[in-house]
């Protein structure tokens, strides 16, 4: 088995030194963080759909799009079900735990996550912006019925509303849909107050609203870090690039932060 990469020790020490001198931190997380819990990413290292179309002959982005949900919701629900099944019985990892501990340590600490698995809140984080929603929060497409489930094991796919019989959908942002306004408002409000450090973890940094906080921090001289084995659009923008898996790297950063 190929050994997993580890972060450069000098870069770790630099990150720890900087974090000891800041009071406010924004952390941006993507699928690479939950990959350490055994969850596959859509693409990238260990991706579910690397170089492949779905069984329907369309890209995963098309299958998980709002337009496909409108016309053939059974296709979207099928792939949502597959994603949920890959998450089932997985749990938050040490990286999620470290971020929850960091929230208690820093004066102001927020997580902006693309992940829909709910692991941040399960690990104890309170200040979490789930910009793409949550896979386990379901809402009716026709009435006001909402519910939360632990998993999809006992759900018919697609599931129907207990109140009106119409189709339910998870409260997640599908491709080509708008981001949730409450989450955006929280993000913009916190961004107006600025952060002394921005750390991006395990995200491909494809979307502008993920790149923007890093770019703004870089332009204003704030400290920026990327933890990701892959190269991304922000890799050349950050002060420190840690090319290693998320959980082990966060654990080492936290260990050194608490080592006198």
Rounded Cα distance between 32 and 115, Å, is 9
Instruction: List the catalytic residue out of 79, 132, 162, 259.
Output: 132
Structure-token pair, residue 160: 């129907």
192 vs 194: CA distance, rounded Å? 5
CA distance 202 to 141: 32
Please give the backbone phi and psi of residue 131, each rounded to the nearest 5 degrees, phi first.
-65, -25
| 162 assigned to active site | no
Please identify which residue in the block is written with the tokens 């902006």. Answer: 112
Query: What whole-number distance in Å separates Cα of residue 116 and Cα of residue 149?
Result: 13
3-class secondary-structure state, position 85: helix
Pairing of strands 197-201, 168-172: unpaired
What is the DSSP code string of 151-162?
-STT--SS-B-T
Active-site residue numbers? Answer: 132
């Amino acid at each position: 088995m190929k050994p997993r990469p580890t972060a450069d020790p000098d870069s770790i020490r630099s990150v720890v030194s900087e974090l000891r001198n800041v009071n406010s931190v924004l952390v941006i997380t993507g699928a690479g963080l939950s990959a350490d819990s055994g969850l596959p990413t859509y693409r990238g290292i260990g991706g579910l759909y690397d170089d492949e179309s779905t069984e329907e002959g369309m890209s995963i982005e098309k299958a998980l799009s709002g337009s496909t949900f409108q016309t053939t919701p059974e296709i979207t629900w099928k792939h949502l079900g597959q994603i949920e099944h890959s998450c089932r019985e997985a749990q938050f990892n040490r990286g999620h735990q470290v971020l929850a501990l960091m929230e208690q340590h820093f004066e102001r600490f927020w997580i902006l996550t693309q992940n829909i698995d709910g692991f941040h809140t399960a690990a104890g984080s309170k200040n979490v912006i789930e910009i793409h929603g949550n896979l386990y929060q379901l809402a009716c497409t026709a009435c006001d019925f909402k519910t939360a489930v632990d998993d999809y094991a006992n759900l018919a796919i697609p599931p129907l509303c207990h109140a009106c019989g119409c189709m339910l959908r998870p409260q997640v942002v599908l491709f080509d849909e708008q981001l949730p306004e409450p989450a955006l408002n929280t993000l913009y409000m916190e961004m107006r107050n600025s952060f002394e450090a921005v750390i991006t973890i395990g995200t491909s940094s494809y979307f502008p609203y993920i790149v923007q906080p890093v770019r703004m921090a870089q332009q204003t001289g704030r400290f920026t870090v990327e933890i990701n084995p892959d190269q991304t659009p922000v890799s050349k923008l950050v002060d420190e690039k840690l090319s290693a898996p998320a959980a082990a790297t966060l654990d080492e950063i936290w260990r050194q932060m608490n080592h006198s």
